[in-house]
Structure 1
Amino acid sequence: MRFAALLLPWGLVAGLVAGLARAETDPADAARAAADQLEAATVALAQTDSARDRVKALTEVVHAYEAGLTALRAGLRRAAIRQAQLDRQLKAQEGEIARLLGALQSIGSGPPPVMLLHPHGPEGTARAGMILADVTPGLESEAARLRRDLEEVVILRDLQEGAAETLQNGLAGVQAARTELSKAIADRTDLPKRYDEDPVQTALLIASTETLEGFASALVDLQVEGMDEIDLPDATAFKGVLPLPVDSTVLRRAGEADAAGIRRPGLVVATRPNALVVAPLAATIRYRGPLLDYGNVMILEPQPGLLFVLAGMEKVFGAPGQVLPEGSPVGLMGGNDPEIGAILSQSSDGTGHDRTETLYIEVREGKSPVDPETWFRTNKDG
């Protein structure tokens, strides 16, 4: 795999990663496949300097690292669960194992002439031989099963002991890729721009609104002078099938109350620290920056009157008026990547405690919010 990554077109890297992450393998193979994903991402990162579209290449590398780290955590979790299961089985069978080893030892310890003799003479010896012939395959089968279990325990323990270095390299690689991506976005000059923002007008708009709903509604009415018309794909063709803009799990759906009893019309999703957030569709940036108590907010307009509001990021990319291609980075979540020890201690947890950041996603058609799940796939029934 490490060499195959050198030959793959950039557009296939993410597909390869996703395919491996979905592979049905045993715990050890799953963890090894994830380590290979991270190695492939490292190779791909080294190639981005010569990429024609460096932002796109780095975006795919960040996604590859994120997918590899996710798959490695899952593989280690499964390995830890499997090892604990084997340890319990072996402990519960200690008496049986001792008897098995004693029987095997007694069969193999005596010299052949003694083993073949029976105190009742030739007939007893023949019967004993037949019994021994019947029992021996079962003993050998049980011994082989025990040997496989013990070997698997050793493999799983070695795998987990060596995981720290793999995780360290993966976390360092994804951080380097994020840094390079931020630089590449700051340097890019190839995006079309529909208009230049009037910062005074934007500041007045923020000052005159007290809610996200009021700000978004005013933004729909805001007439920007000299806005160029740019043909974008029909957004309605993607309604209901859009992927979420970040790898995440749904915490609260539209209209569900939070701990304070507040209900909002959007989705709240949980992400890992520093996760990359991308544009789900080609869209114009209508607003980018801090807003009220939502942290950094990105408001995208895929078509007139349709707004995607993404709130709660640590960093946001781009400038109002720019037209982003589908899948372009719009920001990074906050938080700190966990320490290696913390990741390993959670490897047998599986409770999602590593998804510590939250992103708020709101969709507005005209001046009215709509359930984001009419646009985005969220495995609502899962």
Structure 2
Amino acid sequence: MAGLALFTLAALPLLAQTETAPAPDRAAPTGDVPETATQGATPDAVVQEDMAQDAGQATVSASATDLEEVEASLNLSRERIEALKAEIAEMEGDRTQQNAALIAAGQRVKMAEIEVADVEERISELIVAELGVRGRLDGADAEIANVLAALQRISLNPPPALIVDPSDALGSARGAMLIAAIVPQLRARADSVAVDLKELTSIKEQALAEEETLKANHAVLEEEQLRIATLIAARRQGISQRGIELDSQEREAVELAERAATLRELIDALSARAANSATPQPAEDLPGLSPEAIRVALANAARTEPAVPFPLARGYLSQPANGVTVLEFGSGDGRGGISQGQSVVTRAEAQVVAPADGWVLYKGPYLNYGQIIILNTGQGYTALLAGLETISVDIGQFVQMGEPLGQMGSRTIGRTVTTSAGNAQPTLYIELRQNNRPFDPDGWWAPNEQTG
């Protein structure tokens, strides 16, 4: 069945977010950065401001170029692309609407990825079923061909009719017995072939339906990926300059990453650098909030700091990406050590979202972990995501739970996990820490956010 072979094609790749330097919503927990005053400033200060403005303009220009590349790689119609851009243009300057739209788009991408994975699994099952039916039909063809050949030989040299030659009654009886034995077998085989042909037709119909479902979900993925890219670009359009302090923060973070020999050292150094933020609220002084109050706080898209203290978010965190958990916290990592986090095998180009509210302490390459993101989620907690291919947020930026952070690649990047998947599929490493000590993330994810 040639048509069915089309369904073995891999899913269309999602469009990767480009890693540019967006302007943060606000500084890391150090507070908002005041605008640089030009009047009365020293010449050096004016030069620094001009450099910051040039950097901001270059960021906006690069963002526009990246968006054009994204559009060029899509199969969406020009009318749909323009409609999406017009829809997002109406949100200009409204950070709350943009945040809500980003989170909603990220959620739709995750749902579409789940559906694509389910459809591909069903298609694989249909292919296996098709091969089984075709195998039975091929066997039936050979068997029926042998029977028909025997009947043809009988027809060429038939036994004499009983009425013509009574002396050959025994031969006639033998011929009748042979035919009587063959005809039921032929009927049974014909019935079996008819059932198989009907099943094959049903498989074709199911395959066509699954193809349409797959196409629909690929269209959703493309549209939402464009929406995310356009929203990110739109949030940068109003930025004509980046705070000099934020530029300095990013440079310092990169320098710390270059010097740190381990993740513990890196997180310690980053946390120390942000130590002038508000003093973390002790766990025993945390307010008691009802589940409904927590859900209401998390639904506030206008927030610029964590909706609730991190310890109260247990059971509400968003899984960063869809996939299959292949290594749990505390399991052997295949290299003689113990895993201090979870490893999730994802789809190629899978969307990665923020597991919790927090500030981006670091983003970029680190040792052999590939591209990583470290979030300061408050109260001494941090969240680490490693193995990404592209990152779309910036150091110092506040991100909300569920907000897109970047994308996976087409295969494992950085540290590999010893699993049957090898490094043929991308693997996301997830680690939660309290006071820089890893802890088991099991039980922290929202019930409907569990990976397989």
Q: Specify which of 71, 74, 82 is matched with residue 129 of structure 2.
A: 82
Alignment match, 1:185: 232
Give 1:373 shift.
2.2
Pick closer, same or farther for the CA change 1:62–1:298 going to 2, 3 Å.
same
Once the 2 structures are TM-superposed, how far is the Cα of residue 222 of structure 1 from its aligned partner?
A: 2.6
- Partner of residue 203, structure 1: 254
Note closer, same or farther for the CA distance 1:222–1:304 as it changes in structure 2 (3 Å cut). farther
Change in CA separation of 1:261 and 1:365 when aligned onto 2, cut-off 3 Å: same
2:106 corresponds to: 59
Q: 1:318 to 1:95 in 2, by over 3 A?
A: closer
Secondary structure of the residue that 1:244 maps to in structure 2?
Answer: coil
**TM-score, reference length from structure 2:** 0.52
> 2:382, 2:201 → 1: CA distance?
54
- Cα deviation for residue 234 of structure 1 reads 3.5
Matches within 5 A, 1:120-131: none
Greater Cα radius of gyration, structure 1 or 2: 2
1:157-236 to 2 correspondences below 5 Å: 157=204, 160=207, 174-175=221-222, 177-188=224-235, 196=246, 198-223=249-274, 230-236=305-311
Given that residues 286 and 301 in structure 1 are in contact (C-alpha distance below 8 angstroms), is that contact kept between their aligned partners in structure 2? yes
1:358 matches 2:427: yes
- Seen in structure 2, the aligned counterparts of structure 1 residues 169 and 374 have a Cα distance that, compared at 3 Å, is closer
The answer as to whether partners of 2:342 and 2:431 remain within 8 angstroms in 1 is: yes
The 2-side partners of 1:369 and 1:309 are apart by 10
Q: Give the Å deviation of 1:362.
A: 0.8
2:406 corresponds to 1:331: yes
Question: What is residue 286 of structure 2 aligned with on the other side?
Answer: none
Q: Give the unaligned 5+ runs of structure 1.
A: 1-27, 36-41, 102-135, 337-350
What is the CA distance between 1:180 and its match in structure 2?
A: 4.6
Per-residue deviation, residues 53-110 of structure 1 (Å, max 9, x unmatched): 4434543443344234212211211211222343455566679989xx9xxxxxxxxx
How far apart in 2 are the matches of 1:97 and 1:237? 71
Does 1:368 find its partner at 2:437? yes
SS at 1:373's partner residue? coil
User: What percent of counterpart residues are identical?
Assistant: 25
Task: Tell which has more relative contact order, 1 or 2 (C-alpha 8 A, sep 6+).
Answer: 2
> What runs of 5+ residues in structure 2 fail to find an aligned partner?
12-75, 89-96, 149-183, 280-303, 412-419
Inter-partner Cα distance in structure 2 for 1:218 and 1:299: 12
Superposition TM-score, scaled by structure 1 size: 0.60
Distance in 1 between residues matched to 2:424 and 2:112, nearest whole Å: 16
Q: CA deviation at 1:169?
A: 7.8
User: Could you say which residue in structure 2 is the equivalent of 1:268?
Assistant: 343
Distance 1:157 1:362 in 2: 44
Aligned to 1:304: 379
Give 2:229's aligned amino acid.
S
Post-superposition CA distance 1:325-365 (Å, at most 9, x none): 221001100127xxxxxxxxxxxxxx978971111111101
CA contact (8 A) 2:372 2:388 kept: yes
Q: Distance in 2 between matches of 1:287 and 1:146?
A: 64
Q: Describe the SS at the equivalent of 1:372.
A: coil
Q: Which residue of 1 aligns with 2:319?
A: 244
Displacement over 6 Å in runs of 4+: 92-98, 139-145, 161-166, 226-229, 351-355, 377-380
Aligned amino acid, residue 329 of structure 2: A
| Aligned CA distance change for structure 1 residues 182 and 91 (closer, same or farther; 3 Å) | same
- Paired residue type of 2:438: P
Q: Distance in 2 between matches of 1:270 and 1:307?
A: 22
Offset, 1:158: 6.0
**Secondary structure of residue in 1 paired with 2:361:** strand
Deviation at 1:159, TM superposition (A): 5.5
Q: Which amino acid aligns with 1:156?
A: I
Give, in whole Å, the separation in 1 of the partners of 2:258 and 2:423.
36
Q: RMSD in angstroms over aligned alpha carbons?
A: 4.7
Aligned residues: 294
Partners of 2:349 and 2:381 lie apart in 1 by 27
